[in-house]
Chains A and B, each alone.
Chain A
Amino acid sequence: AQTVTQSQPEMSVQEAETVTLSCTYDTSESDYYLFWYKQPPSRQMILVIRQEAYKQQNATENRFSVNFQKAAKSFSLKISDSQLGDAAMYFCARGAQFYFGTGTSLTVIP
């Protein structure tokens, strides 16, 4: 089965603190891409970060970084120095034919 699992329906973090969102996936392919998308209340899907499976180095985009464990099929997102604007739904996805997880709702506490 080509599934993506996000086991944390809701998470909260204090402003300026760090939070990690979990994602596991299943695939029979050796080369693929992994993504984290942010969906604010506006519904717009915004790409946060992506990882190419053949690259060993974990991707980083400013305050966002991933911990990619290929053997464990795990792809977690770490948000550092959390800001109020980070509050949103976060979806993990596996490409190329895209499969999405059910999402994690992140609340940022002032």
Chain B
Amino acid sequence: NAGVTQTPKFRILKIGQSMTLQCTQDMNHNYMYWYRQDPGMGLKLIYYSVGAGITDKGEVPNGYNVSRSTTEDFPLRLELAAPSQTSVYFCASSVNNEQYFGPGTRLTVT
């Protein structure tokens, strides 16, 4: 099993650009999550999903959108990138309250 994979690993965006961060898991987990981690801070929940077709906001959803058309994929969309969205983004899936994290995407908005 590959577990949770994220692409890209690194990305630099200009202010106002859009992009999608990809997340895929091959463990057939229903629950999936997107977090951001700012320097020197813990993870903050952006959005989560309890199954295909069902998503909900977390602690810091503004500026992001998600969709969940399949169990495997949970992409995160940034529509108008802002410098405040510079961060490391982690995707995770979970089963039995145990989370499995992807390797993260480092995003810089300049």
**Residues of chain A whose beta carbon lies under 8 Å from any beta carbon of chain B:** 4, 6, 33, 35, 43-45, 47, 50, 52, 91, 93, 95-103
Interface centre among B35, B43, B98, B103 (most CB of A within 10 A): B43
CA distance A6 to B42 in the complex (A): 10
Q: A100-B43, A100-B44, A103-B42 are in contact. Are A43 and B104 (CB under 8 A)?
A: yes
Interface size class on chain B is: 20 to 34
Are B97 and A50 within 8 A (Cβ)? Answer: yes
Residues of A within 8 Å of B59, CB to CB, are 99
CA distance A41 to B41 in the complex (A): 14
Residues of B within 8 Å of A35, CB to CB, are 99
Q: Which of chain A's residues has its CB closest to B88's CB?
A: A43
B45 within 8 A of A: yes
B74 within 8 A of A: no
CA distance A92 to B78 in the complex (A): 28
| Cβ distance A42 to chain B, nearest Cβ, rounded Å | 8
Additional 10 contacts, C-beta under 8 A, given A4-B42, A91-B42: A43-B88, A43-B103, A45-B43, A45-B99, A93-B43, A95-B99, A96-B97, A98-B33, A98-B45, A103-B42
Are B40 and A102 within 8 A (Cβ)? Answer: yes
Rank and list the top 9 A-B pairs by shortest CB-CB distance, nearest first.
Answer: A100-B42, A45-B101, A100-B43, A33-B97, A43-B104, A102-B42, A101-B42, A91-B42, A95-B97
Are B101 and A98 within 8 A (Cβ)? Answer: no
| Cβ distance B41 to chain A, nearest Cβ, rounded Å | 6
Between-chain CB contacts (< 8 Å), 24 pairs: A4-B42, A33-B97, A35-B99, A43-B88, A43-B103, A44-B101, A44-B104, A45-B92, A45-B101, A47-B99, A50-B97, A50-B98, A52-B97, A91-B42, A95-B99, A96-B97, A98-B33, A98-B45, A99-B45, A100-B35, A100-B44, A102-B40, A102-B41, A103-B40
